[in-house]
Amino acid sequence: MRDCPERFGSDVAGRLPLPGILVAVLLLLAGGAHDLQGQVDWRDFVVTSGLSAEGYQGNLPTVAAAVQDSTEAATAMVGELAMRGDAVWRRNGQTRGLLAFDGGVRQFNTWGFELDNYAPTEWAGTLDLAWRQPVSEGLTVVVSSRVRGREVRDRPPMPLFLAPAYASYSATAGAEWRTSRGFWDLRVRGERSDYFAPEFAPQVSLLDREGISAEVGHERRLGSVSRIRVFGEWESSHYPEQNTFAEDDPFRRDRTIRTGAEWRWQGDIIGSLGAVGRFNRSNSRRPEYNSITVDGSLSTVLPGTSVLTAYAALTLKSYRESTPFARLIPGEEANSASTAYVALSRGLVRNIDSTVRLSWTRAETEIGGDYFQRFGAAVILHYRPGS
């Protein structure tokens, strides 16, 4: 057994017991649904299991790995088990509360590394709570919160990238105003993300972040089957562990403007097309950048009740200041990856359907040709009890 700091128990396991949290949430939900019988509507509950083959390429450096390996290509078989669901609480025929969760575990078995082969385990989960309060005709106040977390054990070196372990908390307050052709929405959100730095990589704590943002959007129907949404967002972020080396302004502070639009079509074919621009400015010139992401999705029913789904997102990013080192640190700044997948789903027996999915992801830095690339092919089973 090799000497890997995360092998013998990590600080993450004590600070973020995700398996226990997920079990406790499910037990709580089961009891709550019984007490509020007739008011709680479980819209969806799915247990998924799957197996995938993945290939990884690249030489993108990362501070989160226990060791550095000289290979630029590796493969893995990945098994996964997950649960997701959402429920609404209705009062007087109106939706007042919403609960949604999504969590699970992935187990990797790798080949192709020069030093050793690895068997990382990744836990991840998200819990959303929301409350809606009608105020007047067409006007609704919305309050919501979200908790996200990730834990990784036996972390492999690149090119198999797994995001660092973290816990993220956010709270949002806003309002929705419905009109005859659509609605306006306003959101104010506060968020904090804490990254758990292992002993061998204390630099991971540099990703710790606090932020507050305000967003206004407008969605309008363009006909019976299509609609468009436009939005603008301003965000202020603070990185308490990143020093600017300026005595009068010692810690990194960013201001980010996001603006975008999305067009959606919902008929025999369900599709969307969107674009988001990001403009980041900072008291530290290194992370100042402009980026744009264009994405699209398509879903349609094929003969034989199969469903074909496709998605693609292309991201272009440019830094305003050139530096002699790679700046892509996943989790630190706007997503710099382009991704695509195509999936074919089909019912097998009552309560069970299957999905075959092909996927691709690529991220690059501006200098040195550093990149990360992943190809994947997966078979996934979905079980919906009681459906």
At 262, the pLDDT band (50, 70, 90 cuts) reads very high
Give tens-digit pLDDT for 284-312.
Answer: 877 788 989 999 999 999 988 899 999 99
Can you tell me the distance from the alpha carbon of 348 to that of 346, in angstroms, rounded to the nearest whole number? 6
At 30, the pLDDT band (50, 70, 90 cuts) reads very low
Q: Which architecture, in CATH terms, is 11-383?
A: Beta Barrel (2.40)
- The pLDDT, as a whole number, for residue 334 is 41
Residues 6+ apart with CB under 8 A from 39: 89, 90, 91
| Domain spans, the chain | 11-383
- Grouping H, G, I as helix, E, B as strand and the rest as coil, residue 18 is helix
| Residue 167 structure tokens | 């816990």
Residue 31 phi/psi, 5-degree rounding, is -70, -40
Annotate 117-142 with three-state secondary structure: CCCCEEEEEEEEEEEEEEEECCEEEE
At 330, the pLDDT band (50, 70, 90 cuts) reads very low
Burial class of 177 by CB neighbour count within 10 A (0 to 12, 13 to 18, 19+): middle
At 6, the pLDDT band (50, 70, 90 cuts) reads very low
Residues 6+ apart with CB under 8 A from 108: 76, 77, 78, 118, 119, 120, 121, 122, 156, 160
- The pLDDT, as a whole number, for residue 78 is 98
The one-letter amino acid at 202 = P
Can you tell me the distance from the alpha carbon of 84 to that of 380, in angstroms, rounded to the nearest whole number? 14
Q: What angle do CA 385, 356, 48 make, to 5 degrees?
A: 30
Does residue 315 surpass a pLDDT of 50? yes
Strands (E), the chain: 40-58, 73-91, 94-111, 121-136, 139-153, 166-178, 182-195, 209-221, 226-243, 251-266, 269-282, 289-301, 307-319, 337-349, 352-364, 371-383
At 160, the pLDDT band (50, 70, 90 cuts) reads confident
Task: Please state, as a whole number, how many other Cβ atoms lie within 10 Å of the Cβ of residue 64.
Answer: 24
Task: Please state, as a whole number, how many other Cβ atoms lie within 10 Å of the Cβ of residue 22.
Answer: 22
CB 263 within 8 A of CB 226: yes
Can you tell me the distance from the alpha carbon of 38 to that of 91, in angstroms, rounded to the nearest whole number? 10
Give tens-digit pLDDT for 197-237.
Answer: 887 778 888 889 999 999 999 999 998 899 999 999 999 99
Tell me which residue of 178, 268, 261, 198 sits closest to 227, measured CA to CA: 261
Lowest mean pLDDT across 102-106, 141-145, 301-305, 363-367: 363-367
> Residue 157 carries which DSSP code?
P
